[in-house]
């Protein structure tokens, strides 16, 4: 099948830094920056072995979704201009191959999938466009009109995709052993199990339809965000029907003035990261393809196949660790990680290195200053953190992350990369304080959302 998912590769995404800090933990009060690392990144990338490592990084991050499409999506948030010119074309060629490995297929092959769930097309739809509007990782989307006049998006699985994903899962252990020399932690069996569970969950369209229906209700009437509702009576094991969003693509946000980009960047941050701590649930698949700009100026968020709920204990653990890092309490942070099983107390990891690592990973929303997130900063951080020869955080990289935290770190990482596409500058910490310390919002967006929620409660 032309659209079979490629072999999956598992990786411990939490061990990949989402922000490279130029300052050590003792310099917490100073601005975080990756400028000083730019030349180092270029030098490392200019080496053939590092080129392979960077390619492996993209594969590892993307394959958490279990599809070649995800690899292209990850590549789309990397800044290829940051790669030395001598290697740039090879990067582009690989990314194009991965991205194009999941093209739309002929409607004659998709139609039986739809009709197996919904019956003859004419019975359900007044009109149905055979040309897909989008090709996703495990299915493609068509625009249609119901007999009552509603315009809908019909997402249908590729024929045989369930078997293809099962094959990917079977290959996880094998590929982990093959890649162990590049990323030593890749053979973590706990993570492999988590990856397998999530690959399978993404195939469950009925589950996704229920989740999206619930989230759409939560955002109905929201001043800034919308989620297209699903039509549960028309959703089946292989077909998901939802409201059609007539909107502009994410790329249109990139050409907006700085203030507008900051506005939409805050909404992206709130939807993908704040929900994790405030609602204890989150979408594990942030990327530009899942974000649209509606004609009334709101952001529409799509795709809830990789959606997670977190136990309150795990959420509180992550929150308390961040607060310890903000306070500079290295010993408390280290003790928490040891107690959680993240750090082996017999390893070479020190409290100071643990603190510095957390700041390198999460400093962009721990520091109470304006921080600009750009493609260059996101790319530098990703590539430098992935190089197995780097001495920076080498001991931390060899520790294991409990599976319950793997995808929360993935959400953080991909949100950071998505924001980088906007070259957006704001004080992320001011937003984070709402869920870090349960403080009242201080941004105009946060205050408007708070007023809307108050009206809902009246």
| Helix (H) / strand (E) containing 311 | none
Residue 183, domain member (yes or no):
yes
Q: How far apart are CA 386 and CA 363, in angstroms?
A: 18
Runs of H (alpha helix) within 330-427? 330-340, 351-362, 375-386, 394-397, 403-420
Q: What is the pLDDT of residue 192?
A: 52
| Integer Rg of the chain from CA | 22
Residue 249, domain member (yes or no):
no
**pLDDT tens by residue, 400-422:** 666 667 667 777 877 888 898 89
Q: If you average pLDDT over residues 183-209, what whole number do you get?
A: 65
Both tokens of 438, joined, read 């349960």
* Ramachandran sector of residue 153 (left: φ over 0; alpha: ψ -120 to 50; beta: rest): beta
Q: What is the pLDDT of residue 341?
A: 86
Q: What is the pLDDT of residue 168?
A: 60
Contacts of 450 (CB under 8 A, 6+ apart): 440, 441
Q: Domains in the chain: how many in total?
A: 1
**Domain around 34:** 13-102+162-200
User: Which class for 42: exposed (0-12), middle (13-18), buried (19 or more C-beta within 10 A)?
Assistant: middle
Residue 172, domain member (yes or no):
yes
**pLDDT tens by residue, 209-239:** 999 999 999 999 999 999 999 999 999 999 9
Read off the pLDDT band of 318 (50, 70, 90): very high
Kindly report which listed range (191-195, 257-261, 319-323) carries the lowest average pLDDT score. 191-195
Tell me which of 343 and 185 has the higher pLDDT. Answer: 343
Residue 193, domain member (yes or no):
yes
Q: Return phi, psi of residue 103, to 5°.
A: -75, 165
**C-alpha distances out from residue 411 to 57, 72, 321, 362, Å:** 16, 17, 17, 12
Read off the pLDDT band of 148 (50, 70, 90): very high
Both tokens of 33, joined, read 């920056």
Residue 26, domain member (yes or no):
yes
Read off the pLDDT band of 109 (50, 70, 90): very high
**C-alpha distances out from residue 354 to 36, 66, 317, 365, Å:** 21, 31, 15, 17
Q: Return phi, psi of residue 140, to 5°.
A: -130, 165
**pLDDT tens by residue, 357-412:** 888 778 888 888 898 888 766 665 555 444 444 455 566 656 666 666 766 777 78
**pLDDT tens by residue, 419-443:** 988 999 999 999 999 999 999 999 9
Model confidence at 143: pLDDT above 90: yes
Both tokens of 315, joined, read 């959420």
**pLDDT tens by residue, 237-260:** 999 999 999 999 998 999 999 999
Model confidence at 201: pLDDT above 70: yes
Q: How far apart are CA 243 and CA 227, in angstroms?
A: 9
Q: What is the pLDDT of residue 211?
A: 95
Contacts of 95 (CB under 8 A, 6+ apart): 58, 71, 72, 75, 76, 80
Model confidence at 114: pLDDT above 70: yes
The single residue listed with the structure tokens 């279990």 is 66
Picking from 284, 289, 272, the residue whose alpha carbon sits closest to that of residue 73 is 289
Q: What is the pLDDT of residue 75?
A: 52
Picking from 267, 235, 234, the residue whose alpha carbon sits closest to that of residue 250 is 267
Chain-centre distance for alpha carbon 446? 22
Kindly report which listed range (255-264, 312-321, 349-358) carries the lowest average pLDDT score. 349-358
Residue 91, domain member (yes or no):
yes
Model confidence at 42: pLDDT above 50: no
Residue 216, domain member (yes or no):
no
Residue 272, domain member (yes or no):
no
């Amino acid at each position: 099948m032309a659209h079979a998912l490629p072999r999956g590769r598992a990786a411990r995404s939490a061990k990949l830094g989402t922000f490279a800090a130029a300052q050590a933990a003792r310099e917490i009060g100073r601005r975080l920056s990756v400028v000083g690392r730019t030349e180092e990144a270029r030098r490392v990338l200019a080496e053939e072995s590092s080129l392979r490592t960077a390619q492996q990084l993209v594969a590892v991050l993307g394959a958490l979704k279990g599809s070649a499409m995800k690899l292209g999506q990850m590549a789309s948030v990397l800044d290829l201009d940051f790669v030395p010119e001598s290697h740039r074309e090879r990067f582009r060629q690989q990314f194009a191959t991965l991205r194009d490995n999941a093209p739309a297929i002929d409607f004659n092959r998709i139609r039986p999938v739809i009709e197996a769930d919904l019956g003859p097309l004419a019975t359900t739809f007044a009109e149905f466009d055979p040309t897909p509007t989008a090709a996703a990782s495990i299915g493609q989307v068509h625009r249609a009109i119901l007999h009552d006049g509603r315009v809908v998006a019909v997402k249908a699985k590729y024929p045989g995709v369930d078997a293809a994903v099962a094959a990917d899962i079977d290959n996880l252990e094998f590929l982990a052993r093959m890649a162990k020399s590049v990323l030593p932690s890749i053979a973590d069996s706990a993570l492999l199990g988590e990856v397998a569970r999530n690959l399978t969950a993404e195939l469950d369209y009925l589950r996704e339809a229920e989740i999206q229906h619930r989230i759409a209700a939560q955002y109905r009437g929201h001043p800034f965000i919308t989620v297209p509702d699903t039509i549960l009576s028309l959703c089946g094991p292989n077909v998901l029907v939802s409201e059609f969003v007539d909107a502009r693509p994410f790329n249109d946000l990139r050409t907006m003035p700085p203030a507008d980009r900051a506005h939409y960047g805050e909404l992206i941050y709130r939807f993908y990261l704040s929900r994790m701590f405030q609602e204890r649930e989150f979408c594990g698949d942030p990327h530009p393809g899942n974000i649209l700009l509606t004609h009334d100026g709101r952001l529409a968020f799509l795709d809830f196949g990789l959606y997670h709920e977190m136990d309150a204990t795990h959420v509180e653990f992550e929150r308390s660790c961040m607060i310890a890092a903000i306070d500079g309490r290295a010993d408390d942070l280290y003790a928490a990680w040891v107690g959680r099983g993240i750090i082996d107390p017999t390893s070479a990891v020190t409290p100071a290195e643990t603190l510095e690592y957390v700041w390198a990973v999460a400093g962009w929303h721990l520091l109470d200053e304006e921080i600009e997130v750009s493609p260059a900063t996101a790319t530098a951080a990703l590539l430098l953190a992935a190089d197995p020869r780097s001495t920076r955080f080498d001991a931390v990289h060899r520790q294991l992350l409990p599976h319950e935290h793997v995808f929360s770190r993935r959400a953080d990482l991909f949100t950071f990369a998505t924001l980088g596409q906007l070259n957006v500058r704001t004080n992320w910490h001011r937003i984070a304080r709402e869920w870090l310390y349960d403080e009242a919002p201080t941004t105009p967006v946060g205050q408007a959302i708070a007023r809307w929620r108050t009206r809902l409660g009246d």
